[in-house]
A = this chain, B = another copy of it.
Amino acid sequence: MLTKERIRCEKLRDRIISAEEAANIFKTGMVVGTSGFTPAGYPKAVPLALAKRADKGDKVEITLMTGASVGDELDGALSRAGVIKKRFPYQTNTSCRNSINNEEIEFSDIHLSHLPQWVKYGFIEKIDIALVEAIAITEEGGIIPSTSIGNANVYVQKADKVIVEINTSQPLGLESIHDIYSPENPPNRKPIPILKTGDRVGTSYIPCDPEKIVGIVITDIKDANKKLAAIDEDSRKMANNLIDFLEGEIRFGRLPENLLPLQSGVGSVANAVLGGLVDSNYENLTVYSEVLQDSVLDLIDCGKVNTASSTSLTLSEERLENFYNNIDQYKEKIILRPQEISNNPEVIRRLGIIAINTAIEVDLYGNVNSSNIMGSRLMNGIGGSGDFARNAYLSIFVTQTTAKNGNISCIVPMVSHCDHTEHDVQIIVTEQGVADLRGLSPKGRAKTIIENCATGEYKEMLKDYYNRALKCSKYKHTPHIIGEALSWHNRFLETGTMRINP
């Protein structure tokens, strides 16, 4: 019965194998592309079996490509077992991150909308195996994804072999939430026909030649749902500052009453910022993002959000259960797309997205670091922030003014790594206030950021640096004291704090 509902293509039913058998298909040197975007919709049983195989001494070293971050069964287990040698394009797993920063894994940090193209263009390693979590396989071999899509459609298209993990913990009710559309390569590409957040333009399954499916593994391991930190005082202040700013934009006629489609990055702060809208007066909001976190479901529940598009459902355990219980209602308002579409610059620019992403640090002139701490240590990666920020109607970055108990200032003279240049950053929001950088010169930006976003001793230090730079710098377009521009980071590396008199 289960098999009939979940594997509707009769001739595929005899390809059911165990996770261990599936793990044996992987060989050293292979390039593996998996489903998964955030800890949602990623394969679990086969990676665990593969890690076990490696732990037993069987050497398997692979290149792993995903949608974005995935759960510990994939990134964690395989990193710890030494299976991952190269990793694309984003991760958030502690074991994986440590291996990247210890030279054990080569990590290539790519815009999330670029990777699917690059695979299709043949710019990077050819995919040997696509490993995809699904809720079911259709009569024709089409793969119906679960709680995320990511790049699964592209990996299935380009791989020699496909292994499907049918996950019975993911309800069949998810069927028809997905909308799979894959643009052709240039010179044959056509306009992506999405004009509104909720437009459906593709199929509800990933087309797949059934002959490519070499194994089907049945599992019931649940998504490792993220626990979001409780909304703290600073997050609440950032959310309020952001809402004040948006109110002003409406007043000045620069945003319609129901705003424009919202995008918000992954994590507690991003969740809190959207959560702040629950108590607002907005109506008929829309979301066009790469993730939907709890706050978006709250906004749907209270009638504020009409339509939400994304490539993954990143819900807490309770919220996911509630979602499943009311799946038919939610499906009317939620649509999951491949990340090539959720993060597509064409669509983002057309719809006019309000992009809200978090920064690790920003500098006086509005450059943003969102990947490398102290210039060297990979945190997560750029993810989709560049896809959205670069093409958004409004490109907003949020950050607290300090981190690590005040030992790090998140506003610095010069970023130690740049992921979003001054040209791509329009609005900076901290718990202190909002810096609206649109149309300002570098000096105007510096004054606004110091005045509106900084606080305490770091504010004084920033003023001091800026004033001295303006005086000393021979060229005064972007005043810097080049020998001192990164001294705050150097001080932190040497003393553990950016403070001068800790």
Residues of A at under 8 Å CB distance from B?
86, 88, 100-103, 106-111, 114, 118, 121-125, 185-187, 189-193, 195-196, 252-254, 256, 260-261, 344-346, 349-352, 367, 372-378, 382, 386, 390-391, 393, 414, 416-424, 426, 438-444, 473-480, 482-483, 485-487, 489-490, 493
Q: Within the assembled complex, what's the spacing in Å between the Cα atoms of A409 and B93? A: 38
- Identify whether the interface residues of A are mostly helix, strand, loop, or mixed: loop
Query: Contact check: which of B86, B122, B190, B439 meets A88 at CB < 8 Å?
Result: B439
Contact between A351 and B187 (Cβ–Cβ < 8 Å)?
yes
B376 x A476 contact (CB < 8 A): yes
Task: Report Cα–Cα, A44/B100, bound state, in Å.
Answer: 57
Q: How far, in whole Å, are A253 and B126 apart by their CA atoms in the complex?
A: 13
Q: Do B186 and A350 touch (CB < 8 A)?
A: yes
Nearest residue, chain B, Cβ from A125 = B439
In contact, B350 and A118 (Cβ under 8 angstroms)? no
Taking a contact as CB atoms closer than 8 A, the residue among B107, B122, B478 that contacts A375 in the complex is B478
Q: CA A350 – CA B477 in complex, angstroms?
A: 36
Q: Is the CB of B106 within 8 A of A352?
A: no
What's the Cα separation between A268 and B192 when bound, in Å? 37
- In the complex, what's the smallest C-beta–C-beta distance from A155 to chain B, in angstroms? 15
A372 to B480, CA, bound (A): 11
For the complex with contacts A121-B393, A367-B418, A377-B477, 10 further pairs of A-B residues with Cβ separation under 8 Å are A86-B441, A102-B476, A109-B422, A124-B439, A186-B393, A189-B350, A191-B350, A345-B349, A377-B475, A485-B486
Complex contacts, A420 vs chain B, CB 8 Å: 421
Most chain B CB within a 10 A radius of its CB, from A196, A254, A421: A421
B186–A351 touching, CB < 8 Å: yes
B106 touches A444 (CB 8 A): yes
* In the bound complex, CA of A292 to CA of B137 (Å): 52
Determine which of B125, B260, B439, B490 lies in contact with A118 in the assembled complex, contact meaning CB atoms within 8 Å.
Answer: B439
Inter-subunit contact B477/A100 (CB<8 Å): yes
Smallest beta-carbon distance A498→chain B, Å: 12
Checking B118, B382, B421, B486 against A438 with a beta-carbon cut-off of 8 angstroms, the contacting residue is B118
CA A419 to CA B476, docked complex, whole Å: 18
Chain B residues whose CB sits within 8 angstroms of the CB of A373 once the complex forms: 475
A-B contact pairs, 15 of them (CB 8 A): A100-B477, A101-B475, A111-B423, A118-B438, A122-B252, A185-B352, A187-B261, A189-B349, A191-B192, A373-B475, A374-B482, A375-B485, A376-B473, A482-B489, A483-B486
Contact partners of A367 in chain B: CB under 8 A: 418
Q: Are B109 and A423 in contact (CB under 8 A)?
A: yes
**Cβ-defined contact, B121 with A254, below 8 A:** yes
Could you tell me the distance in whole angstroms from the C-beta of A68 to the nearest C-beta in chain B?
A: 14
CA distance A376 to B260 in the complex (A): 36
* Known contacts A439-B123, A444-B106, A476-B102; A419/B416 CB under 8 A: no
Q: Which of A110, A375, A416, A493 has the largest count of B CB atoms less than 10 A from its CB?
A: A375
CB neighbours of A393 from chain B (8 A): 121, 186
- Expressed in whole angstroms, the Cα–Cα distance for A455 and B481 within the complex equals 29
Q: A352-B185, A421-B419, A423-B419 are in contact. Are A375 and B480 (CB under 8 A)?
A: yes
Identify the closest chain B residue to A470 (Cβ).
Answer: B103
Which 9 A-B pairs give the minimum distances between C-beta atoms?
A186-B352, A377-B475, A191-B191, A124-B439, A418-B418, A378-B477, A106-B441, A346-B346, A483-B490
Note all chain B residues with C-beta closer than 8 A to A114. 423
Chain B residues with CB under 8 A of A86: 441
In the complex, A260 Cα to B186 Cα: how many Å?
8
A451 to B374: give the CA distance in the assembly, Å: 26
The answer, among B186, B443, B477, for a CB contact under 8 Å with A372, is B477
A123 → chain B closest CB, angstroms: 5
CB-defined contacts of A485 to chain B, threshold 8 Å: 375, 486
